[in-house]
């Protein structure tokens, strides 16, 4: 029997979306709906679009990888740290430059004063003048014993002497305490006490010295005890003093205007108990008349038992050398003594160095031979170093002191 129904409807089995390979050919009619390639073990291909024309695309720049961001941050931190360290180093360097310009001596050293030399504390107040102008031995003070007796050190006799209470006041006490290292605020009082031991000599204030500091007032009375002195004449070697008694000193007169800092008026007189006897080796020297002028380059002679070189020991034999006088204006030049030579002083020596007086010669004579007479031109006072170029010896100018000498000779016959 023939059926009148049409052909059966198409059959579909839903298996979800299955991508077709790109540009796959359309299946022929009647081909099985699920070719065997669909059941292959290889993964299906992903469709992609390949543009056939050039296009322009506007997108945001890709962010840098995280590792590069950390490196830049670390570099910036290092630069900041280095900048801070450089600033700190510059500040420290500036401080040290300022410190050494203002205080060029190290903290463990003490400056000598106008010369600028630096000395260790162990060389201060040890009886040896290490500073060129002797500053290390001119302001030595201490409190002695249970009664706190104020004593001042004398580098000449290498002894400590108590200070007399006459004319003393608290202002001097504060100066003394300050030089010992105490704060002025810690000062309590000064009063007179009886010393426990008997002193042969003592320091006394010179109230006629004017408005100057404590040490300048005291210096005119240092070693003022004449009984601690002996004068020897006519000897060439120091060891000869062991076999001679010397001449006793009756009176010592120091110049009241002596200044320990500038060495102004550096002169003193000694009156002997008995006069000297003139011999072939003991002869007088003449004082210059007031107003007497000695010419620059005039040949003079210096002598003494001082050191033969800077820092050396005193000599046993008497040494002497010829030195020419130097005009004061030239000696006051900037490159020499820069205005430090006062009218009470006179310079002598070779500006090239090599000849000079030295430590231990202080007080010795500067003499010249003129018109068959030996004249006392000056007394050895101070100098920077020994035989240093452009630093000649400086001596007291006797023509300035002649009136003062005659006046004291008349008053103390």
- What's the pLDDT tens digit per position in 324-334? 999 999 999 99
What are the DSSP E strand ranges found in 139-282? 141-144, 149-154, 159-162, 230-231, 247-254, 268-272
Q: What is the spatial distance between Cα 127 and Cα 313, in angstroms, rounded to a whole number?
A: 13
Token pair for 341: 């030579």
Q: Are 357 and 364 in contact (CB under 8 A)?
A: yes
Q: What is the spatial distance between Cα 15 and Cα 388, in angstroms, rounded to a whole number?
A: 118
Mean pLDDT (whole number) for 205-234: 70
Among 97-106, 343-352, 380-389, the minimum mean pLDDT is found in: 97-106
* Domains defined for the chain, CATH in brackets: 131-226 (3.10.250), 284-399 (2.40.10.10)
- Residue 41 — pLDDT band, cuts 50, 70, 90? very low
Among 144-158, 241-255, 309-323, the minimum mean pLDDT is found in: 144-158
Mean pLDDT of the chain: 78
Q: What is the spatial distance between Cα 122 and Cα 101, in angstroms, rounded to a whole number?
A: 24
Mean pLDDT (whole number) for 190-206: 69
Q: What pTM was estimated for this model as a whole? A: 0.53
- The yes-or-no verdict on residue 40 having pLDDT over 50 is no
User: What per-residue confidence (pLDDT) applies to 24?
Assistant: 47
Residue 151 exposure: Cα atoms within 13 Å on the Cβ side: 17
Closest to 172 (Cα-Cα) out of 142, 217, 214, 205: 214
Percent of the chain at pLDDT above 90?
Answer: 34
Among 162-176, 287-301, 341-355, 397-411, the minimum mean pLDDT is found in: 162-176
- The residue with greater pLDDT, 228 or 96, is 228
DSSP 28-57: PTT--SS-GGGG-SSPPPPP----SS----
Mean pLDDT (whole number) for 74-89: 87
Q: What is the spatial distance between Cα 229 and Cα 270, in angstroms, rounded to a whole number?
A: 10
Q: Which helix (H) or strand (E) holds 404?
A: helix 398-411
User: What per-residue confidence (pLDDT) applies to 212?
Assistant: 59
- The yes-or-no verdict on residue 293 having pLDDT over 90 is no
Q: What is the spatial distance between Cα 271 and Cα 226, in angstroms, rounded to a whole number?
A: 9
User: What per-residue confidence (pLDDT) applies to 39?
Assistant: 43
- The residue with greater pLDDT, 312 or 96, is 312
Instruction: For the beta carbon of residue 67, count every other beta carbon within 10 angstroms.
Output: 7
Q: What is the spatial distance between Cα 155 and Cα 133, in angstroms, rounded to a whole number?
A: 13
Q: Are 294 and 368 in contact (CB under 8 A)?
A: yes
Mean pLDDT (whole number) for 382-401: 94
Closest to 207 (Cα-Cα) out of 168, 177, 174: 168
Highest mean pLDDT pick, 23-37, 58-72, 246-260: 246-260
What are the DSSP E strand ranges found in 235-360? 247-254, 268-272, 299-304, 319-326, 345-348
Highest mean pLDDT pick, 65-79, 153-167, 222-236: 222-236
Sheet with 268-272, edge to edge strand ranges: 230-231, 247-254, 268-272
Backbone φ and ψ of 301, nearest 5°: -130, 140
Place of tokens 């006394």: 204
Q: What is the spatial distance between Cα 156 and Cα 252, in angstroms, rounded to a whole number?
A: 15
Compute the radius of gyration of the chain from its Cα atoms: 50
Token pair for 123: 């060389």
Helix and strand numbers (H, E) in the chain are: 5, 14
Mean pLDDT (whole number) for 131-157: 77
- The yes-or-no verdict on residue 38 having pLDDT over 60 is no
DSSP β-ladder status, 373-382 and 365-370: antiparallel
């Amino acid at each position: 029997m023939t059926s009148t129904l049409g052909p059966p409807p198409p059959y579909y089995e839903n298996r979800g979306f299955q991508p077709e390979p790109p540009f796959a050919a359309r299946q022929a009619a009647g081909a099985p709906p699920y070719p065997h390639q669909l059941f292959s073990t290889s993964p299906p291909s992903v469709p992609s679009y390949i543009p056939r024309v050039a296009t322009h695309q506007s997108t945001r720049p890709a962010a840098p990888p995280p590792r590069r961001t950390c490196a830049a941050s670390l570099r910036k931190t290092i630069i900041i740290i280095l900048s801070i360290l450089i600033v700190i180093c510059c500040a420290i360097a500036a401080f040290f430059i300022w410190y050494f310009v203002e205080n060029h001596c190290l903290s463990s050293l003490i400056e000598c004063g106008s010369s600028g030399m630096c000395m260790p504390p162990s060389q201060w107040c040890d009886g040896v003048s290490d500073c060129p102008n002797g500053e290390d031995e001119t302001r030595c003070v201490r409190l002695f014993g249970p009664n706190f007796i104020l004593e001042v050190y004398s580098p000449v006799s290498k002894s400590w002497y108590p200070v007399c209470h006459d004319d003393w006041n608290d202002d001097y006490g504060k100066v003394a305490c300050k030089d010992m290292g105490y704060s002025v605020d810690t000062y309590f009082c000064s009063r007179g006490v009886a010393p426990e031991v008997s002193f042969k000599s003592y320091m006394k204030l010179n109230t006629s010295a004017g408005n100057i500091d404590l040490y300048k007032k005291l210096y005119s009375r240092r070693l003022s005890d004449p009984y601690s002195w002996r004068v020897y004449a006519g000897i060439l070697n120091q060891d000869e003093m062991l076999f001679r008694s010397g001449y006793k000193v009756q009176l010592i007169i120091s110049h009241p205007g002596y200044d320990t800092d500038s060495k102004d008026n550096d002169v003193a007189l000694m009156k002997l108990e008995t006069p000297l006897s003139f011999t072939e080796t003991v002869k007088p020297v003449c004082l210059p008349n007031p107003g007497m002028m000695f010419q620059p380059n005039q040949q003079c002679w210096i002598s003494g038992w001082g050191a033969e070189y800077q820092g050396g020991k005193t000599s046993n034999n008497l040494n002497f050398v010829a030195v020419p006088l130097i005009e004061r204006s030239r000696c006051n030049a900037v490159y020499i003594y820069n205005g430090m030579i006062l009218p009470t002083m006179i310079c002598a020596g070779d500006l090239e160095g090599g000849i000079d007086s030295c430590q231990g010669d202080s007080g010795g004579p500067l003499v010249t031979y003129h018109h068959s007479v030996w004249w006392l031109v000056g007394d050895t006072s101070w100098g920077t170093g020994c035989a240093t170029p452009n630093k000649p010896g400086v001596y007291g100018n006797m023509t300035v002191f002649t009136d003062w000498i005659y006046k004291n000779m008349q008053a103390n016959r």
